[in-house]
Amino acid sequence: MRVVSEEAPDKSTSINLLERIQAAFFFKDWSIPLYARRYYFCFGGITFFLFVIQAITGAILTIYYVPSVEKAYASVYYVHHYVNYGWLIRSIHYWSANLMIIFVLLHTLRVFITGSYKKPREFNWVIGVFLFGLVFGFSVTGSFLPWDQKSFWVTTVMFSFLKKIPMIGTFFYQIMIGDDVLGQTALTRFFSFHIMILPAIIVFFLALHFYIVRKQGISRPL
């Protein structure tokens, strides 16, 4: 009669794998320094939280929104007045967008005032400034999507000034507008930038931004 020994499974392999993952993403033995527990060190995290809210509410609004010059305004009106809690979802999306701009400004000012942009964090500062510009890109493209009188004329005036910038103005105007006047081409491009291109870019640079913060740690204030 053969006796089969019952041994406990070897957990060392799984533990080593977990330790490697933690070490790779700098999650092991991570603690927030006391100086970083002040309220103004939370502006970056609040900005990210608002971005997540934007992504969730925006995904819901995309279900009903129609990127067409004939139906865009009607679809927004339908969401606001006929969809259950549509007014609430759209309001959260609108106000969280405004708050995100405020908090990304506060976060940028905090980093500058506390000197967190200095060596060895110069590259992460450049990434942060780029993310700052992307937030305003979301604001510009999103404000045009309702296709009402306000969004139409604000965008018209804004891009008329952009077109006058030497060397690069006409190039960016053609990328975004694609025609002599605002129309279906512009609306389609703004919609594509707002829900696909800009989110993909910002998620990549947010991940890189967080990775560098994890690697280098939170800088001490001056």
Q: What is the tens place of the pLDDT at every residue in 73-118? A: 999 999 999 999 999 999 999 999 999 999 999 999 999 999 999 9
Domain boundaries, position 68: 37-215
CATH number at residue 102: 1.20.810.10
**How far is CA 214 from its chain centroid?**
19
Residue 62 CB contacts under 8 Å (≥ 6 apart), including other chains: 195
Flag whether pLDDT at 35 surpasses 80.
no
Reading the block at residue 142, the tokens are 């999103």
**Is position 62 within any domain?**
yes
**Is position 26 within any domain?**
no
pLDDT in tens, 64-80: 999 999 999 999 999 99
**Is position 27 within any domain?**
no
Please count the CA atoms within 13 angstroms of the CA of 201 that sit on its side-chain side: 17
| Higher-confidence position of 149 and 220 | 149
**Is position 6 within any domain?**
no
**Is position 15 within any domain?**
no
Q: How many structural domains compose the chain?
A: 1
**Is position 5 within any domain?**
no
Average pLDDT of the residues in 190-200? 97
The pLDDT assigned to 36 comes to: 79
| Higher-confidence position of 28 and 155 | 155
**Is position 72 within any domain?**
yes
